[in-house]
Structure formats: structure tokens, C-alpha cells
Chain A
Amino acid sequence: MIETVNLIKDFGNFRALAGADLTVPDGSVYGLIGPNGAGKTTLIRHLLGVYRQDDGSVKIAGEDVWENLHVKSRVASIPDDWFFYPQANIRDMMEFYRGIYPRFSVERYEKLKAAFDLDERRPIRGFSKGMQKQAAFWLALSCMPDYLILDEPVDGLDPVMRRQVWSLMMSDVEERGTTVLVSSHNLRELEDVCDHVGIMNKGRIVLEHSLSEMQDNTVKLQVVFEEDGEGIVSSIPALHVSRLGRVYTLIMKMSAQEAVERLAPYKTLMVEALPLTLEEIFIYEMGGSDYGIKDILV
């Protein structure tokens, strides 16, 4: 399990993490989402043992991460700007990782060669951004990690390669019980692969659930009232209300059944519960955290 408790980090006068509590169950694929500057990358760097927290704790498999070689040898990461030695090719980097990661598998590396159509003797600096990302995945998966921590990992990959790397990671999750934490702004993609989601804002995890739980707990209702509904909707606890003609769209933080029961006392012509996408949940949750879409025309 990956766990941070009351994680605090200041950069000078700026508080980047303000008591972040994160829990990633073992064997899960956890999507960490949040607006720009929410503290996702800072949190990830704590999980990798790069940053040391000012307060709170950062644990993986029950052990503190900072200067813990045993834990760090079980973690592989792909940061948003992956570093490789300027003169190195993939083979050189493989030799380097092999000498550093005790569980590095050359056999796996050779097997993965077929999945990534890359010339391992060509300098990595000559690769496109997407090819460099592929190289990073190739090496990270060859480290045989128990924990895979990814920051904007599929940025720059073409759709086919995206599917390829997700498929490789999913097979690792299935076969080896690898825990994956992935930070991304591509919510559509996360929705397909994640079983847990954490929403981060202003240095805190504001919402953390399994994806199904999250979708069950937030509902989108389309309602048509017999009479004027303005007075009714103002008395209902909704995250968001919009109206198109006589059709009201309500986003409510409760189960569909609960929401329908809430509307039962009112005369309605139509009540329809629709499933929410992760993107909608994010947008409406963040709207509640003062990060809503502003109707500003310039």
C-alpha cells in the first residue's frame, strides 16, 4: 500500500502540500487527478524519495520511503520529463538500470523488445518525445517493480502505443499484483484503466474513492417538473444545476436511488438518472472547491 498522512511541503513561503492524505491499495490502479499546480508532481516526488517532507509521513508497503533502499528498489517511475544520459542509447541505459535496480530483468527487457519498435543502439536524444516515453516504459517495466509511479506517462504517445503500454501495465497488475499510481489530465483514459481515483487541489486530496464508488455516489439527473421548478431546485442540495427549456440537469452527491427519492414529493413529468463520467465528476467536484469554469468572455 502507498500511503501519505498529513503530508506537508513548503517551498520558501509557498505551501505546495498542505496535509495531503493519500491511500493507494495494493494491486490497484490509482488515478491522481487535479488542476494545474494542485501538488500532484510534488506528491509523486515524495513517493519516489526525491523530496523530503517537512511534516507527515510517506510510506510504501508500511515503510518510510526517504533513504529506504529496500522500498526504492521496488519502485519504478516515469516522471513527466524523464532523464537519460545525453550520449546514451537504450542499451546503455539498460546497463545502467541493471547495475542499480537489483531486480532488473534482462530477460523481460529482451521480451519487451518486441512490444517497442525502437532501435536500442540509437542515441535516445535522437528519438521523438513519444519514442523517449516508450524507452522509459521499456526500462521501467524491466525493473520488475512492485510499485509503478507515473507522472503524465502517456503524453506524446500515439493511440496505438497508448493501448500497448496500458495493456502491458494491466498485465503486470494482473499477473504480478503491481500497484500503479498515475497522474494525468487525460480523464477519459484514466476512467478506462483506474479502479481508484484521488482528486487533489491546493496541496490536499479532496476526494478519494474507488471509481465505481465515486460514480455511485454522484449522480446526474435530468428532470422536468410539472410546475415551475426554480423554487424546487434551490431547495435541493445539488453540486450543479443547469436548465435547458423545461429540462433541469442536476448533479447531486448521492446515489441515484437517493436522488430520485429526494424528488418524489414534487410533481415531475420526467426523472432520468444518467451515469457521470470521471471528467464530469472532476469538473463538478472542483467547482465546489472554487475551481469552477468561469463564464468570462474576453
Chain B
Amino acid sequence: MASKISWFNRTLYKKNLTGCWPLWVITSILACLVPLSVWAGADGISKASVITALQVVCGGNPFFLNIYGLIAVAITWRFLHQPRRTLMMHALPLSRNCIFLTGILSSITVILIPYAVACVILIFLSIPVGVPAAAMLQSAAVIFGELLICVAMGTFCAMITGSTVMMVVLYFVFNYLAVFTDSLISSYSEGFLFGIPGNSFDGLEFLSPMVYVGDSVMLESGAGNSTYLQGRLTLAVYGLLSILLILLCWLIYRRRNSESAGEAISVRILRPVFLCGVTVYSALTLGRIFYTILFGFFFGTQYYRLIPIICCMAAGGLIGFLAASMLLKKSFRVFDTKHLAGAAATVAGCIIFCVLLRADIGGQVGYIPARDEVSSVTVTVNSDTFNGNYLIRRGENALMEQVMDLQRELIAEKDELTQPGYDSYLSSYYDYCIVWYKYKLVSGETVERSYRFVVTSEPLRGIMESLQTGAAEIRRLHLDQDGFVLEGVWLENSYSPEQLGSVQTSELLAAIRADMEDGAMPMTDTDVFDLSMEYIYRDPDRTEPSAAALYDNIRLAIPSAMERTRTYLRSIGYDSFVLSN
């Protein structure tokens, strides 16, 4: 009998479920292994082991959903991607509202079945030790929230394309595009802008829902066997957005043309977006690959030369443009005058992009924050001759001015340091220097810069040497610095680090200070070391009690010139390989 409710059809729901029964039966059997592994574990079943199992499930949920969830959604909507199925489904006396809602519910059901099976077994097994109901409900919230994201994203991809293969591709594109874009932006910034580091700034991760929610939402253990859900707000927001996305899918489906089955992109207004998107990302990705292969080694510098990178990006962009055109047209015949304008626009876009980046319109290359704006700056200097790691906080004007002077001097020598072949020159040089800056501004922003260079010019040498003074090193060890609480000092013995007591710590620090005042400096932050010190401090601009404590871990190698320190260490029985050398 047909359902009386025009928004749901029981027969279609049943058909959707039975149509992929091997999938959920096999997955359910595999899911049973989770509770059974807890039960069969060395410690047997306990509340703690059940909670650990739930944490594992919550942690691995995005990965599981990206495979199993996506397959379940793809199976539900495959009728949209095969003309014969579309014809049959849309000729039936079922409204699109009914087909859509039934499809969504059957997708959710298919995904939930393995969870339900595992959950029932876990509850059954944990009855003797007490069911951790709160942890289970929190896990259910994580699973259902992430499931909604998977279903919404999968359904959206299914609605905008007429091909199951494209649907899967689009699903992963939408879930990882932001992360990928982030790395591309970093890479191009590094290639065009002197001093801009190539590390990811993670500013776009929120646009990759599954990745972001997976990273932000966790089931954490509290005191005893209690648990709490970290990232509840994030989960709630993305859950809500997923419901809105499902509503958008419903609107798309109501207007979707049956004849679009088999199309690469079935929503007409999204075709130009697809064309532009593929072109832009091909230009950026392939352009970078082509440049590295063809010119990277030739020019011997990490900084792009303008004309070659434009050529490489244009070639990559044209490949992407033609490939996207072929997919949209479902034909290889795209080499015609009609597509010429698009190809020309691609090349023009590449030229404009590169010229704008090279022109540094935002003035990023020469930007050094004003001293008043800076909350703290961490400067790391690495080379054989010069090294140090300075955490300079607001108020330490002289030292902050010194490191800013160094940055100004490096920017002044930009042309010298970015000329072709400079990287090859660096690698052949026995002692080149890397300097990292990380400014934390009062506004909460972070500004990072990095430079690689050989200390050849006199002004540069002067500044570098001034940073190596005893006062600076004592500063580095926070020996006279307010607000830094020494958490502990560990001796790096051959077996395992050994923490010193408070008396020994005071005596050791006195010996180090005496040596440093005599001009004998330790080597800090080396790979091989004798001591490690850990300080706890607080951000001066974060006065609220909930502000997290920060840690500064310093590694010290004690050279032979530091006699007092070495004598003290020997007196307490320490004599490491580093010491004897």
C-alpha cells in the first residue's frame, strides 16, 4: 500500500535499504569488532575501556563516514545519474518531495545501522560494569552531527552532478578544497613575496567541514570516568549548517531536470563556476609543478621569475580549462573559436595574478609591526656561528629594537638575497643562517617571516653579533625575567632524563649565571644537549584566569668554557657525551 503521507514512501524506503544490504551487513559485522575488542582486551570490560572505545569511534568517525557514508549516499542517489533509473523514478506517482525525504532518511538509516549494532552490543557488554550513559550520548551526538555533514555534503554533490564518479570527486573536493587552497596560497606567497614563510596559516580550514569538525570535536576524558564533549558549539553550528544544506539540496532537486542524468554538472548556473574553478586550480597547481620541473633548478632560487611562472600557470590553466570544457560538453571537440575567449581569459588571469602578487600591493614584504603593536616576538636564529631563540615580550624595547633592526637590514638586502642562483650559493656555503620571526600582536593577529641568507654584509654581521651578547643569552634563559616560572630542569642522562631537586636547580643556575657573566655561553636549542629547562609563563595580554599557560622549553649544551657549570654537574654525577666533547 502506498503511504498516505506524500513526503514519505515506505516501499521506496525499503527498496533503498534492501538495494544495498550487503554493504550495511558487512559493515555491521566489522562494527561489531569494536565492542568485542573491548571485551576481549587484556583489562577486560570496564567503564574506562568502554569510554576509550567510544573515543576511538568518535576519532575515526570522519574517516569512516568519508568511505562508508559516502557510498551509502551515492547508492541512494544513483538513480539521478543513470538515465533509465531517472526515467523510471520520475515517471512513478511519487512527488519529488517524497523521493527526496525518503532518500535522505534511507541514507541516514543505512549509515546508522552499523553504529546501532555496535552500540547495542556495547551496552549489553557494559551492563555488568555500568553503562557510561553520558559518554554514549555524547558519542551519539558526535556521530550524528558528523553523519549529517556527510549526508548533506554527499547529497549536495549528488544533486549538482549527473554522474556518480563526479559526485565522489566533488565530495572530496568540497571536503578538502580549503586545506588545499591554504597550501596553494602559502606556496605562492612564499614564491613571490620575500620573507613570507610557506607554512600553512590554517585560516580556511573551517571551509572543509569534515576535516574541521573532525579536528575540533572530541570526546575527552575528565576526572574519574566522566567525559565531556569538546567543540560542542562547532558541532552544533555545523549540524545546523548541514540541515540548511539539505534544505538547499531539496530546492535544487525540485528544479532538477531529469535529462541532466549523465552530465558533469547538472545545475546550469554552476557550470561557469565549475569551469572557472577547474581552470584556476589547474593554473595554480599545474603551474607550480611545471615551474618546479622546468625552471626551479635552473634559476636556483625559491622565488619565482615572473615570465616563466606566468607561462607555466597559463599552460596549467589552459589544460584545466579545456578538460573542464570537455567534461561539460561531453566531447573532445573544444578546440574552436567559441572556446578561444575562455582560453584567452585564462592566460590574462594568470598574467594579472602574477603581476599583482609580484607588485606586493599589500606591502607584506616590507611590513614590520610597530613596536607598540607587538605583544611578543619569538626570533629563532640558526647557523653554526650564530644561533639563539629569543622570546621578547612587550617592554623589552632594546632587544625588540635589535631584532627589528635585523629584519630591516634583511629587507634592505632583498634584491641581493633573491637573485637567481642564490639558493645554490647558500647550499654551497658552509654556514648560512635562517632567521624566523613570529610576532604576536596586541590585536591577537600573528605575523610570521623567515629569511635564509649568508652573513656577508657588514651591517648584517654587526646586528647578528650584537644578538650574541651575554646579556641576550641570559635573557634567553629567562634568568632575570619576571613572569617566567621554572617548572623544572632535567639532566639528559644516557638512560632517561633526570629531574633535579630545587636545591640542585638553584645551585646549577647560579653556576650557569656565573659562567655566562664571565663570557662563557651555553649553546641553546641544539639537537644534542645536556640540560633542558622548562618555563611556564602567561601571555601579558591575556589576563583572564582561563587564559592557557604557555611553555618555553630550552635545551642547553654546556661547552668546556663553562667550567663552573661543568664542575657542578660532575659533582652531582653527570658526565655526558656532550660534556666530554
In the assembly, what is the distance between CA of A52 and CA of B86, in Å?
A: 13
B259 close to chain A: CB less than 8 A: yes
Least CB distance, B295 to chain A, in whole angstroms: 42
Interface residues on A, range: 20 to 34
Docked complex: B1-59 residues within 8 A CB-CB of A: 1-2, 6, 9-12, 14-15, 19
* Residues of chain A contacted by B19 (CB below 8 angstroms): 85, 87
In the assembly, what is the distance between CA of A50 and CA of B11, in Å?
A: 20
B474 close to chain A: CB less than 8 A: no
* Residues of chain B contacted by A48 (CB below 8 angstroms): 87, 90-91
* Residues of chain A contacted by B85 (CB below 8 angstroms): 83
* Nearest chain B residue, comparing its CB with the CB of A47: B91
Q: Which of B15, B86, B95 has the most CB of A within 10 A?
A: B15
B93 close to chain A: CB less than 8 A: yes
Could you tell me if B92 and A45 are in contact, using CB atoms closer than 8 angstroms? no
* Nearest chain B residue, comparing its CB with the CB of A9: B259
In the assembly, what is the distance between CA of A96 and CA of B15, in Å?
A: 8
* Nearest chain A residue, comparing its CB with the CB of B91: A48
Docked complex: A61-114 residues within 8 A CB-CB of B: 67, 69, 72-73, 75, 77, 79, 81-83, 85, 87, 95-96, 98-102
With contact pairs A83-B84, A83-B85 given, residues A101 and B91 touching in the complex (Cβ less than 8 Å): no
In the assembly, what is the distance between CA of A99 and CA of B16, in Å?
A: 13
Could you tell me if B2 and A99 are in contact, using CB atoms closer than 8 angstroms? yes
Least CB distance, A135 to chain B, in whole angstroms: 13
Could you tell me if A81 and B84 are in contact, using CB atoms closer than 8 angstroms? yes
* Residues of chain A contacted by B6 (CB below 8 angstroms): 69
* Nearest chain A residue, comparing its CB with the CB of B86: A50
In the assembly, what is the distance between CA of A85 and CA of B11, in Å?
A: 14
* Nearest chain B residue, comparing its CB with the CB of A67: B95
* Residues of chain A contacted by B92 (CB below 8 angstroms): 72, 100-101
* Nearest chain B residue, comparing its CB with the CB of A71: B93
Q: Which of A11, A81, A83, A101 has the most CB of B within 10 A?
A: A83
* Residues of chain A contacted by B93 (CB below 8 angstroms): 69, 72-73, 75, 100-102
A51 close to chain B: CB less than 8 A: yes
Docked complex: A128-183 residues within 8 A CB-CB of B: none
Docked complex: B59-112 residues within 8 A CB-CB of A: 84-88, 90-96
Interface residues of chain A: helix, strand, loop or mixed (majority): loop
Could you tell me if A51 and B259 are in contact, using CB atoms closer than 8 angstroms? yes
In the assembly, what is the distance between CA of A83 and CA of B91, in Å?
A: 11
Could you tell me if A100 and B90 are in contact, using CB atoms closer than 8 angstroms? no
Could you tell me if A102 and B2 are in contact, using CB atoms closer than 8 angstroms? yes
* Residues of chain B contacted by A72 (CB below 8 angstroms): 91-93
With contact pairs A99-B10, A99-B11 given, residues A50 and B91 touching in the complex (Cβ less than 8 Å): yes
Least CB distance, B21 to chain A, in whole angstroms: 10
* Nearest chain A residue, comparing its CB with the CB of B10: A99
* Residues of chain A contacted by B1 (CB below 8 angstroms): 98-99, 102
With contact pairs A45-B87, A72-B91, A79-B87 given, residues A51 and B2 touching in the complex (Cβ less than 8 Å): no
In the assembly, what is the distance between CA of A69 and CA of B92, in Å?
A: 9
* Residues of chain B contacted by A73 (CB below 8 angstroms): 93
Q: Which of B10, B11, B87, B95 has the most CB of A within 10 A?
A: B87
In the assembly, what is the distance between CA of A98 and CA of B257, in Å?
A: 27
Could you tell me if B87 and A100 are in contact, using CB atoms closer than 8 angstroms? no
Could you tell me if A101 and B87 are in contact, using CB atoms closer than 8 angstroms? no
Could you tell me if A100 and B9 are in contact, using CB atoms closer than 8 angstroms? yes
Least CB distance, B92 to chain A, in whole angstroms: 5
Q: Which of A69, A73, A77 has the most CB of B within 10 A?
A: A69
Q: Which of B11, B14, B86 has the most CB of A within 10 A?
A: B11
* Residues of chain B contacted by A81 (CB below 8 angstroms): 84, 87
Q: Which of B1, B2, B85, B93 has the most CB of A within 10 A?
A: B93
A49 close to chain B: CB less than 8 A: yes
* Residues of chain A contacted by B257 (CB below 8 angstroms): 51-52
Q: Which single member of B9, B11, B91 contacts A49 (CB below 8 Å)?
A: B91
Docked complex: B492-530 residues within 8 A CB-CB of A: none
* Residues of chain B contacted by A83 (CB below 8 angstroms): 84-85, 87-88
Least CB distance, A207 to chain B, in whole angstroms: 27
Least CB distance, B434 to chain A, in whole angstroms: 57
B532 close to chain A: CB less than 8 A: no
In the assembly, what is the distance between CA of A83 and CA of B93, in Å?
A: 16
Least CB distance, B330 to chain A, in whole angstroms: 11
In the assembly, what is the distance between CA of A226 and CA of B101, in Å?
A: 78
B258 close to chain A: CB less than 8 A: yes
Least CB distance, B197 to chain A, in whole angstroms: 48
Q: Which single member of B12, B84, B95, B258 contacts A51 (CB below 8 Å)?
A: B258
* Nearest chain A residue, comparing its CB with the CB of B98: A69
Could you tell me if B87 and A50 are in contact, using CB atoms closer than 8 angstroms? yes
* Nearest chain A residue, comparing its CB with the CB of B3: A99
Could you tell me if B9 and A67 are in contact, using CB atoms closer than 8 angstroms? no
* Residues of chain B contacted by A95 (CB below 8 angstroms): 11
In the assembly, what is the distance between CA of A242 and CA of B155, in Å?
A: 63
* Residues of chain B contacted by A67 (CB below 8 angstroms): 95-96
With contact pairs A49-B90, A50-B91, A67-B95 given, residues A101 and B258 touching in the complex (Cβ less than 8 Å): no
In the assembly, what is the distance between CA of A83 and CA of B84, in Å?
A: 6
Least CB distance, A271 to chain B, in whole angstroms: 51
* Nearest chain A residue, comparing its CB with the CB of B84: A83
Q: Which single member of A45, A87, A99 contacts B9 (CB below 8 Å)?
A: A99
Least CB distance, A61 to chain B, in whole angstroms: 14
* Residues of chain A contacted by B94 (CB below 8 angstroms): 69, 100
Least CB distance, B260 to chain A, in whole angstroms: 10
Could you tell me if A96 and B11 are in contact, using CB atoms closer than 8 angstroms? yes
* Residues of chain A contacted by B96 (CB below 8 angstroms): 67
Least CB distance, B253 to chain A, in whole angstroms: 12
In the assembly, what is the distance between CA of A99 and CA of B92, in Å?
A: 11
With contact pairs A48-B91, A83-B84, A83-B88 given, residues A100 and B11 touching in the complex (Cβ less than 8 Å): yes
* Nearest chain A residue, comparing its CB with the CB of B15: A96
Could you tell me if A85 and B91 are in contact, using CB atoms closer than 8 angstroms? no
A sample of 28 cross-chain residue pairs with beta-carbon separation below 8 angstroms, ordered by A number, consists of A45-B87, A48-B90, A49-B90, A50-B258, A51-B259, A67-B95, A69-B93, A69-B95, A72-B91, A72-B92, A72-B93, A77-B91, A79-B87, A81-B84, A81-B87, A82-B88, A83-B84, A83-B87, A85-B15, A87-B19, A96-B15, A99-B1, A99-B2, A99-B9, A100-B2, A100-B11, A100-B92, A101-B93
14 additional A-B pairs beyond A75-B93, A85-B19, beta carbons within 8 Å, are A49-B91, A51-B259, A69-B94, A69-B95, A81-B84, A82-B88, A85-B15, A98-B1, A98-B11, A99-B9, A99-B10, A99-B12, A101-B2, A101-B93
Return the 7 tightest CB-CB contacts between A and B, nearest first.
Answer: A99-B11, A73-B93, A83-B88, A72-B93, A48-B91, A83-B84, A50-B90
